Amino acid sequence: MSKLTSRLLPTGRFWVISAPYLWLFLFFLLPFAIVLKISFSEAAIAIPPYQPLLEYAEQSLSIAINLGNYIFLSEDSLYYAAYLGSLKIALFSTLICLALGYPMAYAITRAPRDKQLIYLLLIMMPTWTAILIRVYAWMGILSTNGLLNSTLMWAGLIDSPLQILNTDTAVYIGVVYAYLPFMILPLYANLIKHDDTLLEAAMDLGAGKIKAFWKITVPLSRSGIIAGSMLVFIPVVGEFVVPELLGGPETLMIGRVLWQEFFNNRDWPVASALAIVMLALLLIPIILFHYNQSRAMERNA
Amino acid sequence: MNRRPAFSTAMLWLGLVFLYLPMVILVIYSFNASRLVTVWGGWSIHWYIGLLDNTGLMSAVKRSLQIAFFTATAAVALGTLAAFAMTRIKRFRGRTLFSGLVTAPLVMPEVITGLSLLLLFVAMAQAVGWPAERGMVTIWIAHTTFATSYVAIVVSSRLGEIDQSVEEAALDLGCPPWKTFLQITVPMIAPSIAAGWLLAFSLSLDDLVLASFVSGPGATTLPMEVFSSVRLGVKPEINAIASVILLAVALCTLLAWLIVRSADRRARNPNASS
Amino acid sequence: MVGAAGAMKQAMAKAKPDEFVKIERISKRFDDALAVDDVSLTVNRGEIFALLGGSGSGKSTLLRMLAGFERPSEGRVLLDGQDLTDLPPHQRPINMMFQSYALFPHMTVEQNIAFGLKQDRMSKAEIKDRVAEMLKLVRMSEYARRKPHQLSGGQRQRVALARSLAKSPKLLLLDEPMGALDKKLRSQMQLELVEIIERVGVTCIMVTHDQEEAMTMAQRIAIMHQGWIAQVGTPMDIYESPASRHVAEFVGSVNIFEGELTVDMEDHAIIECPKLDRPIYIGHGISTRAEDRHTIFALRPEKVWVSPDKPDQEYNWAHGEVHDIAYLGGHSVYYIKLDSGLIVQAFFANSERRMPRMTWDDKVYISWENDSGVVLPS
């Protein structure tokens, strides 16, 4: 097929590839180079608020590479704590999503075919809704005089309202709530392709139901687990909305810190340096995700 | 094997309750007559009527809808081409980079994408004088970039399912490739293109972070407007606008689902060959 | 059943040998694997020609190179004197019926058949007439407005055939034409397809893995194996005079005996086979190179006689017992275990109902006539 299209369509083929290629190159890849560049420059009170890296002065091109931003990051424990906090929250949220999402995805695959579509629709619909609104919904529930506290107090379980909003607990609730569907969908896509006769064969050969599940179903769903986990882990590391609205002042997540550096402090070079370090941290998960995806896609093609 | 596993089914229902309960509560409270968001003061549509008078909000809604429309259209065009390139053209220069560029925006944290695009626009404005002013066009570019990836994923999974010999048959009968793509391939993947369009539309409508970075003065989108109020706490007006957005998205999703389901039905129609 | 029709057709084909399709030293390499390895073939005008082989034999790749979907790594394809090698599929005067039929799901039967004609910018009236004619040819006129998913498998096949014949291609390609049909429908559709193709008079190359299908439909068959052509011939040639052990084993069942050629005269030859009680006698000479005496003798199961009585001939028999029996209705297959341990298959026509038959562990003799078997190059 490759040769076919290639031969038939020297010009058409060129455009099919180059239109999306150019767009993504220009508006996705190239910007990273600029972020990298600016992360090496110095902040200034100007428009834009940084010193140019290349200076054409006195007929000679001088390149001022300035590692100051990175040194600044390494010296301030705030950033260190923010990266660590992000990774910790992302890791535990991923595990919680996996623990909740796997049985849910599994239950959907076991449902009758026409019901599966309805369940999937129900899982998918929240992902199409603004994360902002879904997180906002929790603000009303979790606040000190919110619905959760009033219910608990009415039931007599607690005497005084619990402080949930503006804590890490609220962040976990919000993140799991927002990202659970992204775990379920790839798991479902993987589990639905499993051949039921494999489980029957395992049980026929004497494995119990639970053992068959752990020895057959779970290993075979590896690529779904990877895809789901990466779809949760990577964006959560850079998450901004959830910690901003549900987290407290001590909830340090890098997305929020970056936002503050950029919008509040207007320090573009430090924000750039923060982004570059975050990208470096996420490089391995992103490559893992991409490798997993393209293998799945090749199996499709 | 047909017996439904009790544990996972219970988890499924609990999970669905977890996903929907907060939204249901939000919608109920949007009809609360009381200004105090935690006290129930009886039913009222007061806050919905108030929305219509909020001109700032209404212009943000209009702007968001426009951006979402153009984003969905551009993302469908680019995403379909990208999906076609990835599933039908097995070998070309830079294919690895290309597929990386298509999948990476799916997971890339929005703060990174947003920051990098803003810096690009600033650099471009310095170098070539465009975009002189950031606003709807820059938001549209940012949204199109990440929505393209979603469309490409949706469309490529459909392209992978269809029988390629149908396309070959058209070529075999003398139809040139570009015409085959338009007359044979596109009608066969039409449901997923429609679903992709709706997905891109709602992604654009929902986005806060990218828009905040690349927007300029005066170009406030609906999520930006909502966010600036939400930061200050829960307010009944916000409950109302959030409920409207929920309803709109629910309708979009339902529409997409109906399209996909009818296509699924057609595909599963009695196939003597299977 | 197996080749009578083919032999007749072959006689007709011989009357006007007119080289129409010429495949010249064609090869196809995928990455490092050689799918088609230096194949040359000639197909005559008006002939139905089959490429027969197992999966991975390169037959489909060869067909796709004829259609233009794959570009040969080396070699050329000529059709009626015109070099097609560099033409894309939509510019070739060749049409193909796909294994899955590949009907356009969003078009009616009529629109499917008209699709190719529209590409030629024919007038509406001409297209209408041609579509009606094709629908009549395949007896589908009353289904013109149906969509493909409303048709049965056999009906879809007829639409696919009509669609590929509508443009009056110079060459018709059939990719596993019966692959998507169930077994009962196959034999009926095989004859119907041949009838339509012969009525139209189009030259046809088909690909199949089913030898019965190839023998029923085609006038000549090329057996493909690992990318090259093992033998080309009429169905009878291929069955009765296989060129190699591989061909003999691929087409039908066969018993293989290995031995030493001890006598090789003008009018007869004798092979000593250690696994048989008596030597093999052949009623003609074998011109082999004198130094290589090792010989393979192939004997079809239907040519083996099984009897409880000792044959009164000097050569061509052996003693054994009935090891296993497979009752297949029309005939049974007897597996006779010779005293040497070798197992020989023999077909036994069940021409009478419930006649007394040999059964398990019976002591029997197998025997065959002088010209029943074939000597193959070792």
Asked if residue C317 lies in contact with residue C311, where contact means CB atoms within 8 angstroms, the answer is yes
Asked if residue C42 lies in contact with residue C68, where contact means CB atoms within 8 angstroms, the answer is no
Chains that touch C (3 or more CB pairs under 8 A): A, B
Which residues of chain C lie closer than 8 angstroms to A7, CB-CB?
A: 71, 88
Over chain B, what is the mean pLDDT? 86
Helix (H, G, I), strand (E, B) or coil at B190: helix
The 8 Å CB, 24+ separation contacts for C138-143 are C138/C162, C138/C196, C140/C109, C143/C109
Domain count, chain B: 1
Closest CA to A12 of B182, B6, C35, B9: B182
Query: In what side-by-side order are the strands of the sheet with C317-327?
Result: C305-307, C363-367, C317-327, C331-338, C343-349
Q: How do residues C164-220 score in pLDDT, each as one tens digit?
A: 999 999 999 999 999 888 888 888 889 999 999 999 999 999 999 999 999 999 999
Q: How far apart are CA C131 and CA B162, in angstroms?
A: 27
Q: How far apart are CA A46 and CA A48, in angstroms?
A: 5
Instruction: Say whether residue C225 is in contact with chain B using an 8 A CB cutoff.
Output: no
Taking residues A193-218, report their average pLDDT.
83
Distance between first and last Cα of chain C: 30
Q: How do residues B109-147 score in pLDDT, each as one tens digit?
A: 999 999 999 999 998 988 888 888 888 999 999 999 999
Query: Complex ipTM, two decimals?
Result: 0.85
Q: How do residues B207-235 score in pLDDT, each as one tens digit?
A: 999 999 999 888 899 999 889 888 877 77
For residue A48, what are its two tokens?
């834009």
Most B-contacting residue of A3, A8, A21, A256 (CB-CB within 10 A), to test interface: A21
The number of residues making up chain B comes to: 274
Q: How confident is the model at residue A212 (pLDDT cuts 50, 70, 90)?
A: confident
Residue with tokens 């909830």: A251
- Answer yes or no: do B173 and C116 touch at CB < 8 A: yes
Q: How far apart are CA C207 and CA C222, in angstroms?
A: 10
What is the domain extent for residue B258? 55-267
Over chain C, what is the mean pLDDT? 89
**Angle (nearest 5°) at CA C66 between C61 and C67:** 95
Query: What local confidence, expressed as pLDDT, does residue C235 receive?
Result: 95
Which residues of chain B lie closer than 8 angstroms to C94, CB-CB?
A: 172
Chain C, nearest residue to B165 by Cα: C102
Q: Please, which residues have CB within 8 angstroms of residue C14's CB and are 6 or more apart in sequence?
A: none
B94 found inside a domain: yes
Instruction: Say whether residue C170 is in contact with chain B using an 8 A CB cutoff.
Output: no
SS3 content of chain B, % helix, strand, coil (to 5): 75, 0, 20
Asked if residue C187 lies in contact with residue C152, where contact means CB atoms within 8 angstroms, the answer is no
What is the CATH code of the structural domain delimited by A68-300?
Answer: 1.10.3720.10
Chains that touch B (3 or more CB pairs under 8 A): A, C
Query: What local confidence, expressed as pLDDT, does residue A76 receive?
Result: 84
Taking residues B91-105, report their average pLDDT.
85
Closest CA to C95 of C71, C109, C115, C74: C115
Domains belonging to chain C, first-starting first, are: 4-249 (3.40.50.300), 253-376 (2.40.50.140)
Which residues of chain A lie closer than 8 angstroms to B164, CB-CB?
A: 1
Query: What local confidence, expressed as pLDDT, does residue B1 receive?
Result: 43
Query: What local confidence, expressed as pLDDT, does residue C221 receive?
Result: 96
- The domain that contains B204 carries what CATH number? 1.10.3720.10
- State phi, psi for B60 to the nearest 5 degrees: -65, -40
Pick the range with the lowest mean pLDDT from A62-66, A130-134, A175-179, C130-134.
Answer: A62-66
B172 found inside a domain: yes
Closest partner residue to B12 among A9, A104, A146, by Cβ? A104
Chains that touch A (3 or more CB pairs under 8 A): B, C
Q: Rounded to a whole number, what is the distance in Å from the CA of B74 to chain C's nearest CA?
A: 26
Torsion of CA B70, B71, B74, B78, to 10 degrees: 180
B194 found inside a domain: yes
Query: What local confidence, expressed as pLDDT, does residue C197 receive?
Result: 94
- Answer yes or no: do C100 and B188 touch at CB < 8 A: no
Which residues of chain B lie closer than 8 angstroms to A24, CB-CB?
A: 82, 98, 101-102, 105, 145, 148
Q: How do residues C335-361 score in pLDDT, each as one tens digit?
A: 999 999 999 999 988 888 776 778 888
- Answer yes or no: do C71 and A1 touch at CB < 8 A: no
Q: How do residues A60-105 score in pLDDT, each as one tens digit?
A: 555 556 777 888 888 888 898 999 999 999 999 999 999 999 999 9
- Answer yes or no: do A119 and B78 touch at CB < 8 A: no
Which residues of chain C lie closer than 8 angstroms to A4, CB-CB?
A: 68-70, 88-89
B38 found inside a domain: no
- Predicted structure pTM score: 0.82
State what percent of residues in chain B have pLDDT above 70.
Answer: 94
Query: What local confidence, expressed as pLDDT, does residue B183 receive?
Result: 92
**A57: pLDDT strictly greater than 60:** no
- Answer yes or no: do C90 and A3 touch at CB < 8 A: no
**C78: pLDDT strictly greater than 90:** yes
Query: What local confidence, expressed as pLDDT, does residue A146 receive?
Result: 81
Query: What local confidence, expressed as pLDDT, does residue B272 receive?
Result: 34
**B253: pLDDT strictly greater than 50:** yes
Pick the range with the lowest mean pLDDT from A36-40, B73-77, C305-309.
Answer: A36-40
Instruction: Say whether residue C180 is in contact with chain B using an 8 A CB cutoff.
Output: yes
Query: What local confidence, expressed as pLDDT, does residue A176 receive?
Result: 96
Q: How do residues A236-288 score in pLDDT, each as one tens digit?
A: 999 999 999 999 888 889 999 999 988 888 888 889 999 999 999 998 888 88
Query: In what side-by-side order are the strands of the sheet with C294-299?
Result: C280-282, C269-272, C255-264, C294-299, C374-376
B15 found inside a domain: no
- Answer yes or no: do B169 and C106 touch at CB < 8 A: no
